[in-house]
Amino acid sequence: MTKIRSICVYCGASDTVDPQYIRLAEQLGRELAKRDIRLVYGGGGVGLMGACARAAHESAGEVLGIMPKFLLQKERIYKDVEHRIVDDMHTRKQMMFDEADAFIVLPGGIGTLEEAVEILSWARLGLHAKPMAFLDEDGFWTPFFDLLEKIIQGGFIPEDFRQAMVHSREPGEAVDALLDRVVVLDL
């Protein structure tokens, strides 16, 4: 793999979050469209998910949403973009992984954290070498990176595992970091 064509974005699906997170998701969507990188995401029209997808789509970007049937009402599918409706969460997560060359994690809840940790776990097991960026403007992911440092210091994962991910403050920086890592990873 030498070029990133698709980035999977994991993020929250809540509309009751701080508006700064919605703005950040919109900025990321526009950045992906500007760079002609397809957004792969969970398919929802709410929260950061909907904001990122709408911004990418309205900026003439390519968007693929992947939604399990049972979430159609809760996450209210964003109908203006291509979608694949799947039977369950496992299929959704596997398809999002298969369709992506890299990952960006915006602020989110337990589901967002679970998706990011699963992809990192697969990288640690040598199942892939796709890079991941955590994106926030306010240190949202700092406690997570502090925990990772404790895990590294405890000897549970090697120090070079840090190369699999970055912590960025703005969308362009996150995409640039992924582009820098897409070829050099050797997990």
User: Average pLDDT in the 107-121 region?
Assistant: 96
Q: How far apart are CA 121 and CA 127, in angstroms?
A: 9
Answer for the pair 19, 5: CB distance below 8 angstroms, yes or no. no
- Determine the topology of domain 6-181 in CATH: Rossmann fold (3.40.50)
User: Average pLDDT in the 20-36 region?
Assistant: 98
User: Tens digits of per-residue pLDDT, 58-80?
Assistant: 999 999 999 999 887 777 787 88
Q: How far apart are CA 11 and CA 93, in angstroms?
A: 13
167 strand-pairing partners: 134
Give the best-scoring range by mean pLDDT among 34-38, 43-47, 179-183: 34-38
User: Average pLDDT in the 129-135 region?
Assistant: 95
Q: How far apart are CA 132 and CA 147, in angstroms?
A: 17
With a cut of 80, say whether residue 86 has pLDDT above it: yes
User: Tens digits of per-residue pLDDT, 135-183?
Assistant: 999 999 999 999 999 999 999 999 999 888 999 999 999 999 999 887 5
Answer for the pair 27, 105: CB distance below 8 angstroms, yes or no. no
With a cut of 50, say whether residue 48 has pLDDT above it: yes
Residues whose CB is less than 8 angstroms from the CB of residue 2 and which lie 6 or more positions away in sequence, other chains included: 182, 183
- Token pair recorded at residue 121: 């776990």
pLDDT class for 2, splitting at 50, 70, 90?
low
DSSP state of 161: G
With a cut of 80, say whether residue 185 has pLDDT above it: no
What pLDDT, on the 0 to 100 scale, is given for residue 1?
43
With a cut of 90, say whether residue 116 has pLDDT above it: yes
Q: Which amino acid is at 105?
A: V
Domain boundaries, the chain: 6-181
With a cut of 60, say whether residue 107 has pLDDT above it: yes
Residues whose CB is less than 8 angstroms from the CB of residue 163 and which lie 6 or more positions away in sequence, other chains included: 181, 184, 185
